[in-house]
Structure 1
């Protein structure tokens, strides 16, 4: 059976599920390649409006596959070009909701941080323990984490390798919601279905502008926001949305 499963649970929603329970969903090279392939296809799928990413009900992903890395050299790691595989997720124009149960450690935490919304179970834990095996994060763990929780919380996690529980992750800004463990998948799917019901062009513009504006000056970011705001007034969905509001009916968005 495939190590990464693709499901279509409802219209407009795709679900990507890691499927290596025997290895606690460790992110082998093969798993990263399969993730990249799925995200590349879904990024261009007109009938997909939101993606849910999960590891299942027991564990999200407990880091990289250490057995596969222990004896590798620098050139071997360089030639893997794993940054290109991660880029397929980072550059996905569709909103991504991570459903996190159990461990999200190392590469698993980095994978969750590639999402746009993180729904965590009460028993979930997030961490970057790479320092404990003589290395450091290599897929955004020092950069995305700092942008999410700030320098001092990020340094605490990165330099000690200690994980944080879901409630602390929520307080720090590393999770969007915390729900009961048995409600994580359902809540993530409900959010994805809600997002999928929104006008696709507006959703994609919001994601693009928010991410692009994070590292720009406020003035430049405001310009990006203003231009995208104006652009949406040329969309059929804007006309439909405002007309439906005035007519007190439910809008039907087509992504045009």
Structure 2
């Protein structure tokens, strides 16, 4: 396997795989990870030979979301989550994106996968919108996309409680996303990608643009509200203490 944090591979018939594989940081949102993933999507978006993207992680992780350093910077007001726009990469990609979430999706890492056009989950993997575990309100467009993809009852429960769920739990709760065993996730995603790649690129781009237009129109308003909530909730001393406690430092 490549030692690159983000590996871009041409598979077949216009299918491009973007594999996130920063094992040292469990695909957390480090500066290098953000730059690599943003660059990969920028490259794919410009390529006329690409028809579909498969976004996946490694082994037991899809993405663990915010790092301790990143959360500290948010607490200190040095950055906002909009400065590092990962959440809309899949949404704004002109061609369809299939997220093969074979491993755990934590916080922003979970939300990032929800913005894909097709999202495949693993029965065994853990998924959580754990922002409130740190004492601050959710960001990255989660208050918008989670109700859209999971339904409002489950999404609100996830965000309020910061509880963890396995894909199996989602299946029992009637989530309308493909949820299969971990070893089947990538192949399921590739099958979906092959079906998409059979279509003309211009038709895929045109239809995706149409289908995502309402989402792209509504998202900025939710982002503004999330930033406003962060101004109220992120800079509490208790938040800093919780960040240190969760990361054990």
TM over 0.5: yes
- Check conservation: 2:74, 2:80, Cα contact below 8 A: no
Distance 2:216 2:9 in 1: 34
Is the Cα contact below 8 Å between 1:101 and 1:124 reproduced in 2? yes
Q: For the residues of structure 1 that align with 2:194 and 2:115, how far apart are their CA atoms?
A: 19
SS in 2 for 1:76: coil
1:167-182 matches, within 5 Å, as 167-170=168-171, 176-182=177-183
**Corresponding pairs, count:** 216
Deviations 1:40-90 (A, max 9, x none): 11111111000000012321112211244225545411397113x544432
Query: Deviation at 1:172?
Result: 5.6
Q: Which runs of 5+ in 1 are unaligned?
A: 217-256
The change in CA–CA distance for 1:173 and 1:25 in structure 2 (over 3 A counts) is farther
Larger Rg: 1
Using the TM superposition, give the Cα deviation of residue 152 of structure 1 relative to its aligned residue in structure 2, in angstroms: 2.1
Offset of residue 25 of structure 1? 1.3
With the length of structure 1 as denominator, give the TM-score of the two structures: 0.76
Q: TM-score, normalised by structure 2?
A: 0.78
Equivalence map 1:219-238=2 (5 Å): none
Q: Secondary structure at the match of 2:142?
A: coil
2:91 is equivalent to residue 62 of structure 1: no
2:37 alignment partner, one of 15, 35, 38: 35
1:194-251 CA distance string (max 9 Å, x none): 21111222222221111114588xxxxxxxxxxxxxxxxxxxxxxxxxxxxxxxxxxx
The whole-number CA distance in structure 2 between the counterparts of 1:80 and 1:212 is 20
How do 1:144-155 and structure 2 match up within 5 A?
A: 144-155=145-156
Runs of 4+ in 1 over 4 A off after TM superposition: 71-74, 170-175
SS of equivalent residue, structure 1 residue 26: coil
The aligned runs of 1:46-195 (5 Å cut-off) are 46-70=48-72, 72-78=74-80, 81-83=83-85, 85-170=86-171, 176-195=177-196
**Conservation of the 8 A alpha-carbon contact between 1:32 and 1:86:** no
